[in-house]
Amino acid sequence: MKILGVDIGGSGIKGAVVDTKSGELLTERLRIKTPQPATPEAVAATLKDLVTQIGWDGPVSCGFPARVIHGEVFTAANIDKSWINTKVEKLFSKTLGTDVFVANDADVAGLAEMHFGAGRDYQQGTQVLFLTIGTGIGSALFLNGKLYANTELGHIKMYGDSAERYCSDSARERFDLKWKEFGQRFNEYLTYIEFLLQPDVIILGGGASKKFDKYAECFTVKTKVIPAQTLNLAGIIGAAMYGELRLKEAKK
């Protein structure tokens, strides 16, 4: 199936048409700067611009940096607060004049990683936790290859604040941490997660996963921790896969 997958982020909105069977991009990856302020109407207009530039008139599916349930936004940790309670699927569908599906960005990136990346070897009989380390910490939890959506484990409390304020990639930059110092902090977070969930495998994606070898030696958890493989394209590919799932559900 061919679907336009879009990764909506705080700094950029990226998209390409994806072959959901192979995970291959069928068009060039296009990136447009996220409007500031990133209000619902402004982002919708930018999304329309992206779709027009790609020249696509089919279904569109987006990864979005918030908890999205039944097409409605419920959190806004790293986006404009005006998004809370916005019916995002309805807004985007009306703006584009086509079916638009929206899910949490870490969830859709996890879908791509489980099908085309490091998660391929961990399907039946395993619990996999996929974490994205970027502006915040996103999470996607899989049991027997199936997604348990909207976990938001980057917001568990550490030192009186959300964990992502302590050990995300933006926190590393904000506190000017060396990679080993960051690794020690992230190990604290993983230790907490391991205690809560006892996953079989933890896969690390997002920007900081590219430097995995610089801090992995700091990890003391018993759970196997490995880097993601789909990297920058996971959000686009996974968004398209989510759209395919929704379209199949609608036909049942």
- Are 123 and 86 part of one and the same domain? no
Look at the chain and report how many structural domains it folds into.
2
**pLDDT of the residue at 11:** 87
Task: State the virtual CA torsion across 235, 239, 240, 242 in degrees, nearest 10.
Answer: 140
Residue 201: how many other CB atoms lie within 10 Å: 18
pTM: 0.95
Question: Residues 96-108: pLDDT tens digits?
Answer: 999 999 999 999 9
- Identify the helix (H) or strand (E) that includes residue 32: strand 30-33
Query: How many of the other CB atoms lie within 10 Å of CB of 148?
Result: 12
- In angstroms, the CA 248 to CA 252 distance is 7
- CA distances, 95 to each of 37, 42, 92, 153 (Å): 18, 11, 5, 32
- Whether residues 132 and 215 share a domain: the answer is yes
User: Is 112 part of a structural domain of the chain?
Assistant: no
What is the tens place of the pLDDT at every residue in 121-156?
999 999 999 999 998 999 999 999 999 999 999 999
Q: Is 222 in the same domain as 245?
A: no
Q: Give the domain CATH number at 138.
A: 3.30.420.40
Percent of the residues in the chain that have a pLDDT greater than 90, as a whole number: 94
Hey, what are 21's tokens?
Answer: 């069977």
The reply to whether 81 and 151 lie within a common domain is no
Based on the domain organization, do 245 and 196 belong to the same domain? no
Question: What is the mean predicted confidence (pLDDT) over 79-86?
Answer: 94
What are 218-233's pLDDT values in tens digits?
A: 999 999 999 999 988 9
66 & 134 share domain: no
- Mean of the per-residue pLDDT values of the chain: 96
Do 84 and 16 belong to one domain? Answer: yes
Domain enclosing residue 178, as ranges: 118-229
Of 252 and 137, the one with more pLDDT: 137
Q: Is residue 110 part of a domain?
A: no
Is the residue at 113 inside a domain? no
* 184 and 246 belong to one structural domain: no
Statement to judge: residues 88 and 9 lie in one domain = yes
Same domain, 180 and 200: yes
- Within this chain, do residues 29 and 92 fall inside the same structural domain, yes or no? yes
- Identify the pLDDT of residue 251: 87
- Are 61 and 100 in contact, with CB atoms under 8 Å apart? yes
